[in-house]
Amino acid sequence: MHHEKQSPNTTNPFASGDEVLGGGLPRARTAIVNGGPGSGKTMLGLEFLYRGALAGEPGIFIGFEEPLDQLRENAATLGWDLAALERENRLFLLGGHIQPDMLTSGEFSLKGLLAAASGKATEMRAKRFVMDALEVALRLFDTPIQVRNELHTLNNWLRGAGLAALLTVRPGVRGGALAFEDFFLSMGDCVIDMDVRMVAQVSTRRLRVVKYRGSGFESNEYPYVITGSGLHVAPISTVGLRHKPLGEKITTGQPKLDAILEGGYRRASCVLFAGQPGTGKTILASTFVRAACGRGENVLYISFEESQEALTGNVRNAGIDLQPEIASGRLRFLCQFPEAMGAEEHYIRALADIEDFSPAHVIVDAISACERMGGKQASFDYLMRLLNRCKEKGITILLLNQTSVPTDITGISGNEISSLVDTVVRLDYKEGFGETTRLLSVLKSRGSAHSNQKREYWITDQGIDIADPYLGEGEVLTGTARQVQEEKDRMEAERLEFEIRLKELEIERLQTMQRRMANGIEKRTALRADKPLDDTQQKG
């Protein structure tokens, strides 16, 4: 039998956690949240109550660890005005701190707190209930029998109260309660583990649903983050292939590149610029940004290697001024070091900007820096989520990848996402004749025809300029080699032109001789016949 469910909140991105839970927490049942310090148990409980109160479902909070004033202050940093909800009788906070004299007299019991909660629940018609840091109360009892009795008391009260209850506990409870940790698993209809760990020197959080009676749920581990607006879950395994089809062609901002791609990039596609440092990836991306903003479309630029000021200053030197686009509100930057946080928080921050800004296009510069979020797997997870969300929303996404050495197309993304990329523009160096030149080529463009020729290009004061392809002796000629070959071709062309002119003069001479010979024969024939010559013949 499936329980009726209710979402922890319906107005916040934590609703993504409902995907993991198969719809939400069980209504009129008990959920156990098991997690260590800093895992966000208290925040999850508060958010469950706060969102419920806003939705018309009053709630009660009993906390054994954190003072209520401090709890209100911490909630205020998230924009949650708990005091206002308390005044409106939509939220009730009850401190469960135990006085030392109660312990010595043996008078402490959960029954008093539960009795107070019962009266308040009836008065305010409460629907939700949270008991935070239950292990603090349990470790105060001396014997396992006392712990078992209190747990039975709590369990019976919860069953009779008809509330959607959430109990938070810390693993490895002391005071004789270790023997009853399995009791939590039995009394909870839903059990959730929350964990904080270090991955490649980056703190990361994971959430897993251990069990959920009478309901389907996702059993894998899922990353989650604590942000300025609450707790957010980013379930990767629930991602479905709901990508929008590729759209019409849109200009790259560079006419010659448009011609190479036979019209430009496809809207809602994924475009990858791959090249070594200094090949102009950021300039090429900024060229597209300027063109897109000029059409009145929003662009979100995610930069992991340069600040907004540094990036805009560098491309300005190449003749691309992005300040008008920033001033118009069409261009927004999200700049942060990869090491500043885990991949999950990077993704949630990007997602928040996407939801708020509604960009038509997203730039990620550079995806080669993403491994610094916590390793190769973290990089893959971040890019997979971001790519999926952009493709679902019909957003064109441009990825810039800084390669260390030339590589083949299968590994050109550096993050094992090449199969998800629709268009690959490769930027290479070519050395010869004592100089280094640059080559541009399109390796693939899904759903679109394109030129397969390599072309030399230059980074100028007016952006990137692309030359027509020039082939010689089986290879692409660039720079001085091209100039030398062009000079040879010019001299050869002049020689051929001279020889052709000599041939033409020789032909003209022969034709003149033939005409003269023909006229002489005709005169002699006329004389033999004693025929008078006509005017034409006389002139001849």
Q: Are residues 518 and 438 part of one domain?
A: no
- 381 confidence band (pLDDT: 50, 70, 90): confident
- CA 344 to chain CA centroid, nearest Å: 10
- 1 confidence band (pLDDT: 50, 70, 90): very low
Rounded average pLDDT over 347-374: 92
Residue 269 lies in a domain: yes
Q: Are residues 487 and 415 part of one domain?
A: no
Last residue of a domain, one of 469, 496, 513: 469
Helix axis angle for 41-54 and 68-76, nearest 10°, is 70
- 237 confidence band (pLDDT: 50, 70, 90): very low
Q: Are residues 144 and 19 part of one domain?
A: yes
Q: Are residues 465 and 496 part of one domain?
A: no
pLDDT at 537 over 60: no
Residue 143 lies in a domain: yes
Higher pLDDT, 218 or 150: 150
Residue 197 lies in a domain: yes
Q: Are residues 309 and 284 part of one domain?
A: yes
Residue 477 lies in a domain: no
Helix axis angle for 110-124 and 144-161, nearest 10°, is 10
The pLDDT tens digits for 125-157 are 999 999 998 888 887 777 778 888 888 889 899
- 65-74, 115-124, 371-380, 493-502: the lowest-pLDDT one: 493-502
Q: Are residues 510 and 387 part of one domain?
A: no
Q: Are residues 168 and 278 part of one domain?
A: no
Q: What is the reported pLDDT for 236? A: 53
Classify 237 as helix, strand or coil: coil
pLDDT at 454 over 70: yes
Q: Are residues 304 and 227 part of one domain?
A: no
Residue 288 tokens read as 């597209």
Residue 475 lies in a domain: no
Dihedral class, residue 259 (left if φ above 0, else alpha if ψ from -120 to 50, else beta): alpha
Q: Within 13 Å of residue 427, how many CA atoms lie on the same side as its CB?
A: 25
The pLDDT tens digits for 304-340 are 999 999 999 999 999 999 999 999 999 999 999 998 8
- 8-22, 249-263, 433-447: the lowest-pLDDT one: 8-22
Q: How many domains does the chain have?
A: 3
Q: Are residues 200 and 65 part of one domain?
A: yes
Q: Are residues 262 and 192 part of one domain?
A: no
* Rounded Cα distance, 281 and 398, in Å: 10
* Rounded Cα distance, 260 and 443, in Å: 11
Q: Are residues 488 and 451 part of one domain?
A: no
- 66-75, 339-348, 412-421, 527-536: the lowest-pLDDT one: 527-536
Q: What is the reported pLDDT for 105? A: 45
- 534 confidence band (pLDDT: 50, 70, 90): low
* Rounded Cα distance, 403 and 426, in Å: 10
Rounded average pLDDT over 215-243: 68
CA dihedral 120, 125, 127, 132 (to 10 degrees): -10
Q: Within 13 Å of residue 265, how many CA atoms lie on the same side as its CB?
A: 28
- Mean pLDDT, rounded, of the chain: 82
* Rounded Cα distance, 469 and 464, in Å: 15
* Rounded Cα distance, 303 and 289, in Å: 14
What percentage of the chain exceeds 70 in pLDDT?
79
Residue 476 lies in a domain: no
- The pairing of beta strand 475-476 with beta strand 471-472: antiparallel
The pLDDT tens digits for 393-416 are 999 999 999 987 655 555 666 667
- Which one, of 427, 413, 319, lies nearest residue 366 by Cα? 413
* Rounded Cα distance, 394 and 397, in Å: 9
The pLDDT tens digits for 152-197 are 889 899 889 989 999 998 876 434 444 456 666 677 888 888 888 7
The pLDDT tens digits for 80-110 are 999 999 999 999 999 876 655 544 445 567 8
Strand partners, 423: 271, 445
Last residue of a domain, one of 469, 491, 509: 469
The predicted model scores a pTM of 0.71
* Rounded Cα distance, 428 and 432, in Å: 13
- What DSSP letter does each residue of 243-298 carry, written as one string? PPPP--EE--S-HHHHHHTTS-EETT-EEEEEE-TTSSHHHHHHHHHHHHHHTT--
Q: What are the C-alpha distances in Å from 173 to residues 69, 99, 153, 157, 182?
A: 26, 20, 18, 22, 11
Last residue of a domain, one of 175, 204, 233: 233
- Domain of 307: which CATH number? 3.40.50.300
Residue 421 lies in a domain: yes
Q: Are residues 496 and 455 part of one domain?
A: no
Residue 474 lies in a domain: no
Alpha-carbon dihedral sign for residues 443, 449, 453, 457: negative
Residue range(s) defining the domain that contains residue 504: 483-539
What is Dmax (Cα atoms) for the chain? 162
